[in-house]
Amino acid sequence: MRKYLLTVLCAASALVFVCVVMGEAQDMKVGFVDLQKFAEKSLKAQTMQKKLMDLMNTKRQALENKKRELTDLQEQLQKQGPMLKEDTRNQKIKEIGIKEMEFKLAEKEAQSALQNEERDAMQIFQRDLTKIISRIRTQKGLTLVFNQAALLSADDSLDLTEEVAKAYDASTSAEGAPAPAPKKAPGAGAGPGAPAKKPATK
């Protein structure tokens, strides 16, 4: 699902990774972020990508199962139709109609769920990454931070990608996930920083 993540990253550039601050042109300090490299370096971004992939695969498998059930019924009717009593044949036709309706509804539900998940992920991504870039820009006294895709050429010393990726990953504990527990002295109890168990998904 790397293509999707890159799509999200590029869409985030619609926020225009450009933070403008008033200042004299000759004193302007700039930096840039390479979104493709960011996607490869950020563990948090890769986790988001995997979550979307897992959801897509789950929905796809459910649809394939329903499609298989429908196909099996259609094949049975085609093979057995001439030998079936009228009432039995009509019941088979009715059952196929119900399966077709269930498949169409499941298809719409899957599409809606994926769109909602993608939208929410993009909104969170844009909010968090923009906040981090703005903070780094302020700390470094930069005037502008560009999306690398908008640059024809730039000095590598202006590349903020790795720093942004590290800050983005570090923000996990501050924005939803529990922070690692401080290390304890030997024999002081459970191991430090044990991750919380996620509820099992069906």
Q: Where are the domains of the chain?
A: 2-20+28-170
Contacts of 103 (CB under 8 A, 6+ apart): 63, 66, 67, 70
Q: Report the 10 Å Cβ neighbour count for 102.
A: 13
Q: pLDDT digits over 16-72, tens only? A: 444 443 344 556 899 999 988 998 999 999 998 899 999 999 999 999 998 998 888
Q: Is the pLDDT of residue 10 over 70?
A: no
**What per-residue confidence (pLDDT) applies to 34?**
92
**What per-residue confidence (pLDDT) applies to 28?**
82
Q: pLDDT digits over 57-76, tens only? A: 999 999 999 899 888 888 88
Q: What is the pTM of this model?
A: 0.59
